[in-house]
Amino acid sequence: TGMNIAFIGLGNMGGPMAANLIKAGHSVTGFDVAGTTVEGARVAASAAEAAKGADVVITMLPNGAILRAVAADVIPAMTPGAVLLDCSTVDVESARAVADLAAAAGLGALDAPVSGGIGGAAAGTLTFMVGGSDEAFAIAKPLFDIMGQKAVHCGPSGNGQAAKICNNMILGVTMIATCEAFALADKLGLDRQSMFDVVSTSSGYSWTMNAYCPAPGVGPNSPADNGYKPGFASELMLKDLGLSQQAAEAADADTPMGQRALELYKQFVEAEDGKGMDFSAMLPRFEKRGRG
Ligand code: NAD
């Protein structure tokens, strides 16, 4: 039997995620401030109207400030016992603040950011990293199973966001390391296929080398083979690296590589030609540069 679901934020990710819930037989009421709709969903006039009477309210929004504003609207409209399920990538503090607000209203709350991108959202193969109570996780689990292939319960509220930004800090740092090493190999006269063959089976291997190789024509098919069209855009990587540094500052953690990765993606997106390019386009960036 289907649940009553409110889905707020029907953008690149939220749209296909909502469509999968509808396809699985759930009743979805959608709201997006841009007027975006999803076929088969009822359309609400506001986030609060969508949330009224819902068993689960899902949010898929751009950032923590918008999440806080939407949560302040929807929480008073929700039925006690219902679950607020945020799938956006936001700062840990916002996730915890929203969870506290929900708990005070007798609601369950989960922070459940995803990896897998737009392709994963459409295919229903996202990975969810989830913070919140066991009870709330159990209620949302059937929805994770529809929208994704895996949901890892990481502990209390905020821990889903913590897992996401730690993962993406590794990803950003590793992508840069892989790209600068390819550019160095070029200058040393090492061909890219040899570089791939060695590193992908040696101790320098990584997801960025083996599964998402930034060099065109080498390794599995990746955005590099498609003119560096995203994929995962550099500005989204920049956002996530900013969140990890924000969290590191709040927690007094020393993250020098994450800090440097943030600086490089910031320069790439804001001062160079990285905007709108996949985050693996760091390789052509390094190719063009010398030490100067
Ligand atoms: P998007 O900009 O396409 O979608 C966000 C939607 O939220 C938009 O349609 C916007 O109109 C809507 N919105 C903004 N303010 C609103 C409000 N007050 N009320 C209702 N709707 C509002 O972004 P996206 O790519 O779908 O990403 C959503 C989240 O998922 C982000 O936090 C992003 O970091 C994260 N994420 C994205 C990807 C990706 O590959 N796109 C991958 C993993 C995680």
pLDDT in tens, the chain (292 residues): 699 999 999 999 999 999 999 999 999 999 999 999 999 999 999 999 999 999 999 999 999 999 999 999 999 999 999 999 999 999 999 999 999 999 999 999 999 999 998 999 999 999 999 999 999 999 999 999 999 999 999 999 999 999 999 999 999 999 999 999 999 999 999 999 999 999 999 999 999 999 999 999 999 999 999 999 998 999 999 999 999 999 999 999 999 999 999 999 999 999 999 999 999 999 999 999 999 8
Q: What one-character DSSP code corresponds to residue 148?
A: E
- Among 33, 161, 167, name the best residue to mutate to test ligand 1's pocket (greatest count of ligand atoms within 8 A of Cβ): 33
User: How far apart are the CA of 290 and the centre of ligand 1, in A?
Assistant: 37
Ligand 1 in reach of 248 Cβ (< 6 A): no
Q: Measure the N-to-C terminal CA separation of the chain; round to a whole number of Å.
A: 64
- pTM here is 0.95
Instruction: State if residue 17 touches ligand 1 by the CB under 6 angstroms criterion.
Output: no
34 lines ligand 1 (CB under 6 A): yes
CA–CA dist 151, 110 (Å, integer):
12
C-alpha distance from residue 229 to each of 226, 239, 260, 267, 278 (Å): 6, 18, 24, 19, 5
117 CA: nearest ligand 1 atom: 40
Q: How many CB atoms sit inside 10 A of residue 205's CB?
A: 15
Backbone dihedral angles phi then psi of residue 14, each to the nearest 5 degrees: -60, -40
**Minimum-distance ligand 1 atom for the alpha carbon of 90:** 32
Give alpha helix (H) positions in 42-158.
47-51, 64-74, 92-104, 117-123, 134-147
- Which secondary structure element, helix H or strand E, spans residue 250, and what is its range? helix 234-251
Active-site residue, from 52, 141, 164, 239 = 164
Q: Is the CB of 241 under 6 A from ligand 1?
A: no
Written as six digits, the tokens of 15 are 């749209």
**Dist CA 47 CA 159 (whole Å):** 25
ipTM summary value: 0.99
CA of 59 to the centre of ligand 1 (A): 9
Of 8, 10, 12, 46, the one to substitute when testing ligand 1's pocket (max ligand atoms within 8 A of C-beta) is: 12
Single out the residue of 27, 7, 24, 26 nearest to residue 15, CA to CA: 7
* Three-class secondary structure of residue 31 per DSSP: strand
Q: What is the DSSP letter of 204?
A: T
Q: What's the DSSP call for residue 110?
A: E
Give catalytic status of residue 164 as yes or no: yes
